[in-house]
């Protein structure tokens, strides 16, 4: 079963969206304004979009020289041939002409959730050792001590080379059974597959309202209910974790203020605990009322990359990240989403995700965490493993 492109947005609450094929597309290494022209040209249609982290280079006039293991396009937008809305009431076509092959494909795709998945059979190896990771955290804390940053989202990547994924769709459902996240996505584009189990929303527009929901603060889940509740309470009361979240909320408020009508930026939800399959997280919601005629790429230029994946202040912190990370993030720490026919949109943060290049036979899983002056390097390393280990293990079971 092979088709491209495919995009499946799975909220894990019985609702979702499935896009099949494409009638127009734009794929760029740079060119945010060209993306907006493409969006304007196809106004009134569903459009799928992918924005890689390194689009920061265009927005902030930066450079990336680290190795990119997967080479996913920096900017990719397309108009699907057919779009289906999925809900408890059923599956309804909302774009395109009826296409029998798309209906057959969708039915077979959804059936894969019930199939037994063949283990991946490839070991993921960290590109830096634990000792190297700990040393880099100390360098970050020195930068914070110098006053160059308050908080740095430092990431590491695990790669599998000579990796042959026989059925990426089946493997996606295996990953989804582990994460069961609200911003889960499966995507296929040419030689690329993205298996995304993201719990985080980057930005959503409804009418003239824009919201962002940054995650900062993590605790593991426990199978024992009482111990799980203790971990949740510890996270809720952690001054360190709440401080991390507060810094990013301030950054997001500042980003949204560039787009907002006067005095409309609000924080309706602050440091609320959300529990997912593998972790508890602290999530805040920042909202604003958009100025008239604000475009999608206006929002992108003002808010990307999302503060939860950079730290603060954004520009200098991204420079520190580039100096100390040993890989180019690509689509990881970027965003996948869709623009609706009425101009509303919803985009996630690409985390807890497997990125795969069929041609290179390379897969990557990346993970990061917020580093502050209070961070304990050993604990930060363990937090990364909490976020990613169950996924790595689960895909090979």
Q: Which residues are catalytic?
A: 200, 216
184 with 161: CB under 8 angstroms?
no
Place of tokens 């003002």: 302
Q: CA 330, CA 147: separation in Å to the nearest integer?
A: 28
Q: What angle do CA 38, 43, 45 make, to 5 degrees?
A: 105
Chain centre distance of CA 25: 21
Cα Rg of the chain, angstroms: 20
Token pair listed for 332: 């990881």
User: CA nearest 194: which of 335, 371, 45, 386?
Assistant: 335
Crossing angle of helices 32-41/296-303, nearest 10°?
A: 150
Q: Which residues contact 68 (CB under 8 A, 6 or more apart)?
A: 327, 328, 330
Count of positions (residues) in the chain: 397
Q: CA 148, CA 310: separation in Å to the nearest integer?
A: 13
User: CA nearest 57: which of 49, 48, 66?
Assistant: 66
Q: CA 148, CA 324: separation in Å to the nearest integer?
A: 14
């Amino acid at each position: 079963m092979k088709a491209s492109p495919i995009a499946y947005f799975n909220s894990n609450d019985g609702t979702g969206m499935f896009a099949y094929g494409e009638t127009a597309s734009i794929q760029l290494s740079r060119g945010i304004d060209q993306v907006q022209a493409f969006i304007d040209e196809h106004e009134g249609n569903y459009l799928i979009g992918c924005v890689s982290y390194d689009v920061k280079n265009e927005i902030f006039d930066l450079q990336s020289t680290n190795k990119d293991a997967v080479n996913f396009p920096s900017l990719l937008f397309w108009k699907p041939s057919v779009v289906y809305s999925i809900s408890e009431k059923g599956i309804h076509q909302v774009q395109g002409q009826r296409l029998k092959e798309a209906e057959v494909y969708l039915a077979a795709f959804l059936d894969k959730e019930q199939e037994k998945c063949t283990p991946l059979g490839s070991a993921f190896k960290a590109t830096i050792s634990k000792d190297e990771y700990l040393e880099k955290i100390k360098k970050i804390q020195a930068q914070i001590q110098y006053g160059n940053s308050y908080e740095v989202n430092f990431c590491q990547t695990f790669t599998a080379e000579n990796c042959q994924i026989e059925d990426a769709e089946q493997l996606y459902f295996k990953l989804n059974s582990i994460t069961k996240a609200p911003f889960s996505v499966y995507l296929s584009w040419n030689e690329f597959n993205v298996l995304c189990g993201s719990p985080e929303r980057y930005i959503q527009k409804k009418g003239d309202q824009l919201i962002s929901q940054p995650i900062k603060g993590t605790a593991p889940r426990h199978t024992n209910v009482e111990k799980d509740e203790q971990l949740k309470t510890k996270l809720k009361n952690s001054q360190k974790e709440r401080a991390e979240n507060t810094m990013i909320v301030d950054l997001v408020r500042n980003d949204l203020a560039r787009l907002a009508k006067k005095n409309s930026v609000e924080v309706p939800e602050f440091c609320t605990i959300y529990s997912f399959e593998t972790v508890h997280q602290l999530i805040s919601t920042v909202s604003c009322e958009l100025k008239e005629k604000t475009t999608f790429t206006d929002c992108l230029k003002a808010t990307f990359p999302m503060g939860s994946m950079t730290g603060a202040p954004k520009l200098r912190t991204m420079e520190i990240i580039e100096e100390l990370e040993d890989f180019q993030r690509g689509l990881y720490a970027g965003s996948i989403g869709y623009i609706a026919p009425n101009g509303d949109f919803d985009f996630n943060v690409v985390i807890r995700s497997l990125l795969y290049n069929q041609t290179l036979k390379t897969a990557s899983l990346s993970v990061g965490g917020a580093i502050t002056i209070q961070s304990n390097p050993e604990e930060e390393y363990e937090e990364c493993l909490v976020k990613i280990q169950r996924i790595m293990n689960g895909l090979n079971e």
